[in-house]
Chain A
């Protein structure tokens, strides 16, 4: 024992000189770990633990309460069958097709609009400091507020249509929010309104980060403004596109409250997203197994998007 102690002393003489400092430096080494430990433990239990629990429940026949006997994959079989029931549409079919429509349009329009606004704001215009927060502000609202405000605005009897009728344009007709085929597009409108300002801010930050020399060089070479953006600026913004895409993708997949506040499910449940389906089946219909199975499918969908992104990011860094 003593020999070991002696070698240690020789290797790290300053520890020997001031024993108080040794404890402190050890503490300093440990401090980040100690501080991180509670949140780490909480994440392990409340995120990953419950993910595993949900996966487990999806293979049981849990109804109102969790039951722990693994039965079969009946919940998945039912979801699989519902996936192909398009006429009349099953609730699950409606949910996943809506997810497709909403996710695609929401992400695409937000990116396009955000980039467009950012480019306009980047033209060194006067009053940028005022304009920027105006576009950014909707992001500060919760989905519930956005949903209720747009619900009133789009309601044919209260909002836009009624107002235009009163102003004399009586042929104006806009009742998407009451129409089973179009209600999901009103969710896109409200969602885009809320998020595009935030995406604009991300792009604006990206644009400000681009080296002015490159732009000048391109202009000297005779590139038109369109070519400048098309060939130089937008390719340089690639990392921003990726971050914005990830932010939007997860917002899209978890927008439960927007659908509830805006449409309360839509006519005949035509505005449901998978998250509405999950809540409805788990808590209202007492079909916990089906709800869990749908949650697992949602998780796998997110994983399918996030993992390739992380992979490409990490590969790029190591290069």
Chain B
């Protein structure tokens, strides 16, 4: 009896080992790109991998947004059951890398020359301790204005170059009886707009010091107070019903011509495309006034986990395909963002995309490519959320003056560090 059991066990293990010897031709991927356009964009990658003989397996996550996916990922990693890769944002990658669960793609990176083609600011999040742990998929930038061209023509507006121009333009819209500024009153939207306001008010140097280095002097400086005052000014141009509105509903207000402009990241472009609008004729994309030449970014990354040896080949194939020029172009044309490497040709992109690519290149070379604090690329989540709290409380009136706002900001960030 015992001997039979032993033989059985030995056989089973030998089977298991022989199965392990061959590479697993499968990529397990955790992501929350399930909506129409996003899923279509991801399909490009699936097909690229299928050509190389790798099957694609989605790790199912119940519930839409990234939060549910991150909770699921936490559970999987805690159980030692790593996916090949997972969609991740900013500091999450570094958190997991610090916990020692990320793989090492440095060899592939060297072979493919990622060090040179991927902007240095992005490498801060995809390289940990000298090792490549993630493959950036795209670069979103948040300092954009999205304007309805018909409304713009009606009120006779021109591209605002400074913050004062912008206020004058909003006044014109108000006089013409349209809602000047479409805003969704959720804390991340308010804070995303405030990112641009700070860059516009204080300039690139100041933005970096305050929002990336979290320098206390800058955070409580008069420039910061001025930024809050400017934010308060902008909030006077929103409709009374803005609180709690989703970002895509705010975009829809601009698309329909109920509102003139929205300050939002370039994912808003996807909504315009879905409504069959073309840049230049139906809508306009300008940089937030006073921020031309700088880019506030966030980026989607595929974090690569420390999978067993037999699954490494699939992982390398996934990473290589993700950063290939053809995929970067095809994916980002659909997604509305710009490629995560600066050497991808812009031929397939629309006018806004072309501007985005050129801006990214310029900002990368000029050192004016900054992480968005609201989107979690300026500081770890605890700090980023404390910042969103303060901005949102200021917009909704719990914090009444800009003096109080900067004091609260310093305190909240200190607490969260």
Contacts and interface: CB of A to CB of B under 8 A. Distances in A.
Given A65-B78, A263-B244, A269-B187, A285 B398 contact: no
B392 A268 contact: yes
A61 B13 CA distance: 41
Find the residue from B96, B241, B386, B399 having the highest chain A CB count within 10 A.
B241
Nearest to B98: A64
Interface in B85-115: 92, 95-96, 99
Given A266-B244, A269-B187, A283-B67, A88 B399 contact: yes
Nearest to A156: B241
Contact of A178 (B244, B386, B398): B244
Nearest to A286: B381
A29 B393 CA distance: 63
B404 to A, nearest CB: 6
Contacts of B70: 283
B408 A178 contact: no
B244 A286 contact: no
B404 A88 contact: yes
Interface in A212-227: none
B48 interface: no
Contacts of A89: 393, 398
B78 A268 contact: no
A174 to B, nearest CB: 12
B368 interface: no
Given A268-B393, A269-B393, A285-B416, A64 B99 contact: yes
Interface in B369-389: 380-382, 385-386, 389
A264 interface: yes
Find the residue from B78, B92, B243, B392 having the highest chain A CB count within 10 A.
B243
B185 interface: yes
27 contacts: A63-B382, A64-B74, A64-B99, A65-B95, A65-B99, A78-B415, A88-B393, A88-B399, A88-B404, A88-B408, A89-B398, A157-B241, A175-B240, A177-B243, A178-B240, A178-B243, A267-B185, A267-B243, A268-B392, A269-B187, A270-B398, A283-B67, A283-B71, A283-B74, A285-B416, A286-B95, A286-B382
Interface string A188-225: 00000000000000000000000000000000000000
Contacts of A155: 241
Contacts of A263: 244
B414 to A, nearest CB: 11
Contact of B397 (A65, A180, A264, A280): A180
Nearest to A67: B99
A265 B92 CA distance: 23
B396 A268 contact: yes
A94 to B, nearest CB: 8
A284 interface: yes
A95 interface: no
Interface string A79-120: 000000000110100000000000000000000000000000
Nearest to B190: A268
A270 B396 contact: yes
A196 B380 CA distance: 44
Contacts of A65: 74, 78, 95, 99
Those 8 A-B pairs whose CB atoms lie nearest each other, nearest first: A268-B396, A267-B396, A178-B243, A268-B393, A268-B392, A88-B399, A267-B243, A157-B241
Interface of A: 63-65, 78, 88-89, 91, 155-157, 175, 177-178, 180, 263-270, 280, 283-287
A248 to B, nearest CB: 27
A65 B73 CA distance: 12
A180 B71 CA distance: 29
B389 A91 contact: yes
Given A64-B99, A180-B397, A284 B243 contact: no
A264 B415 contact: no
A89 B400 CA distance: 11
Given A155-B241, A286-B381, A268 B99 contact: no
Contacts of A286: 95, 380-382
A178 B187 CA distance: 14
A78 B74 CA distance: 25
Contacts of B415: 78
Contacts of B244: 177-178, 263-264, 266-267
B379 to A, nearest CB: 12
A91 B389 CA distance: 8
Contact of A269 (B96, B242, B381, B389): B389
Contacts of B392: 267-269
A283 B66 CA distance: 11
Find the residue from B67, B244, B395, B415 having the highest chain A CB count within 10 A.
B244
Given A64-B96, A178-B243, A284-B67, 16 more contacts: A63-B95, A63-B382, A64-B92, A64-B99, A88-B399, A89-B393, A89-B398, A175-B241, A178-B241, A178-B242, A268-B392, A268-B394, A270-B396, A285-B382, A285-B385, A285-B386
A225 B395 CA distance: 54
B397 A268 contact: yes
B212 interface: no
B186 interface: yes
Given A269-B393, A286-B380, A88 B398 contact: yes
A148 to B, nearest CB: 12
A65 B186 CA distance: 27
Nearest to B390: A88
Nearest to A151: B244
Contacts of B243: 177-178, 267
Interface in B235-260: 240-244
Contacts of B78: 65
B408 to A, nearest CB: 6
A76 B287 CA distance: 44
B146 to A, nearest CB: 21
A109 B200 CA distance: 50
Contacts of B187: 265, 268-269
Find the residue from B240, B382, B398, B400 having the highest chain A CB count within 10 A.
B398
Contacts of B400: 88
